[in-house]
A and B are shown apart, each in its own frame.
Chain A
Amino acid sequence: MLTFILRRLLQALPVMAGIVLVCFALLKLSGDPTRILAGERAPDYVRENIRKKWRLDEPWPKQLAFFVGGLVSGELKSYTHERPVGEMLLEGASVTLRLALGAILVAVVLGLLSGIFSAYRPRSALDYAAATGASIGISIPAFWLAMILTLIFGVKLGWFPIGSYKAGRPEYLAIPIATLGLITTALIARLSRSCLLESLSQDYVRTARAKGLSEVRALLGHAFPNALVPIVTVIGTNLAGLMTGAVLTETTCSLPGLGRVIYNAINSRDHPVILGGCLFFALVFVLVNLAVDILYGVLDPRIRHE
């Protein structure tokens, strides 16, 4: 198991290196950052000073080494905030992590319940209702759902506060968590329904029924555990996606999350923060995938990691 984990982490290194390279290339393609950092009309010597200060006058390989070295040692600073990149990213990540975990929790509970019920009574009215809800759920823009929930529960009913997030006040996270949670619920409900129906048609479920188990026990005890592998995969990719892709919801709900930090960095050409953020995303992605792979072995003993 340990060698498996180590090997996977080693395999992830080229992907991480690729991400840093692609990111660096995009940054270089996006032109001279001093144009935005100093302003369009700044005199040349001001820009020259900025270039010197952040070593932008050095050759590209040296710049790349400076970035990577600074990220590893934790000394790399943001161009615009002059704070360590790691500190800024962790601050954003602490908000986003709460958001992502809350949303995943909502989605797993609601999605699995809906999927199990749909598989238990396929083609019933509730199954059709769940299918319709799930179809709408995957077609709805997250930021618009957030707007509508804010409009209803924040403005009309006044149940939840609107406006900027204040640390330590979980009620500010309710609407964004509900937004992302409901959208992810749609995905999990769809998938768990089809996976459950597929495993319900397998021989071992027929055997379970034949030996006199009730339909509920055949479903929950025999079909469900075997349908879990693809479901866990989707939960994993969604958790990674929620950690990284929540920029629109964070914008709508004025949350200072990770997506927001990096979005601002892209707009202000804050290269160290962008690079650090990309590396952070890649790390989250690799670690979540690894966790999912380890879970496979737990869920399905036939899958072994040598």
Chain B
Amino acid sequence: MNSAPAAIEPAPGAGPWRTLLRRLRRNRAALVALVVIAVLIALALGAAWFAPHAYQDQFRGAEMKPPGTRQLTRRPGELEEASRAFVLGTDVNARDILSRMIYGARVSLSVGILATLVSLALGVLIGLLSGYFGGWLDACLMRLTDTVFAFPSVLLAVAITAVFDKPSFLVVFFALGLVGWTGIARVVRSQVLSVKTLDYIAAARALGAGHGRILLYHVLPNCLGPIVVLGTLSVGGNILGEAGLSFLGLGVQEPYPSWGGMLADAQGHYRDAWWLAVFPGLAIVATVLAFNLFGDGLRDALDPRTQK
């Protein structure tokens, strides 16, 4: 479908997707990023298997233990003490950090991806309509885009979460999705503007295709490249956004862990428990970095100018 780069590279028997794959395979950073993303998704899906402990279990006498602690402890309700290892240490409430981080990946990844889908749906729709029809519709939609863009995104997301009574998972991804579509709309619009002057659109129109058909089957497929790239990159942005909202206490609620929420818990314990502040943050950086590097790799692979 992304026929632009493929058309320039006349390798026999190579479809556009295969060209994309071949180019991606040469980009080591993007490959590593893809592996990291796959591992994170596996961890999130299989959190119950991978996590050494349950995320909400509080181990008696094991409050704020440093990484690598192994000690005899029991959960509330247990009669016998058992020797337990806490690879990345425990938090103020004597919960295992590593387990909470593995469960936290569920929140980060699902919010990051779902919010991106919301942004993509809005951004693509608005960009398509705006670029294709032009005129007053374009003017109105672009002023709307400017308005949303002018809002500071964190505060807008905070305001949207404040509209709802209780912060929750659904509210967070909805809020981030509602905030993050402006960049996508602008790029799709400019792509549509250049695509709609091409001959094959005129040909489709001459054959009697309606606006809906032209938009869906002729314009949209030619915008897919930038849309995929922007989507991948905005997953990273949304994961950062979710971490920020959780840090402010507006995300997923206790006892369910999120990386941003874990960092909020670390505040005030800099002196006695550095590990509370370090590991969840590293998880955020690694995840966002993986999505950004993969997005960069996709962009380079789809860009006909980086032909070699």
Contacts and interface: CB of A to CB of B under 8 A. Distances in A.
Interface in B129-170: 143-144, 146-148, 150-155, 158-160, 162-163, 165
A239 to B, nearest CB: 13
Interface of B: 143-144, 146-148, 150-155, 158-160, 162-163, 165, 236, 240, 243-244, 247-248, 260, 263, 266-267, 270-271, 274, 277-278, 281, 284-285, 288-289, 292-293, 296
A148 B275 CA distance: 11
Contacts of A155: 270-271
Given A15-B146, A139-B236, A143-B247, A266 B289 contact: no
Contacts of B292: 135, 138-139
The size class of the interface chain A forms with chain B is 35 or more
Interface string A129-156: 0000001101111011001101100110
In the complex, the 5 A-B pairs of residues with the closest C-beta atoms, listed nearest first: A244-B152, A144-B281, A139-B288, A139-B289, A245-B152
A150 B270 CA distance: 8
A205 interface: no
Contacts, number: 118
A107 interface: no
A177 B240 CA distance: 20
A247 B154 contact: yes
Nearest to A190: B296
Given A139-B292, A259-B152, A266 B159 contact: yes
Given A18-B144, A139-B285, A154 B158 contact: no
B67 to A, nearest CB: 15
Contacts of B266: 147
B277 A151 contact: yes
Contacts of A262: 155
A11 B240 CA distance: 33
Interface in A1-27: 14-15, 18-19, 22-23, 26
A273 to B, nearest CB: 12
Main secondary structure, interface of B, reads helix
Contacts of B260: 141
Given A18-B143, A139-B289, 4 more contacts: A143-B263, A148-B277, A245-B153, A259-B152
Contact of B270 (A30, A31, A154, A263): A154
Contacts of B143: 14-15, 18
Contacts of B285: 136, 139-141, 144
B147 A22 contact: yes
B152 A281 contact: yes
A135 B155 CA distance: 25
Contacts of B163: 26, 29-31
B171 to A, nearest CB: 12
A99 to B, nearest CB: 14
A251 B278 contact: no
A281 to B, nearest CB: 6
Nearest to A284: B150
A278 to B, nearest CB: 7
Contacts of A120: none
A155 to B, nearest CB: 5
Contacts of A274: 159
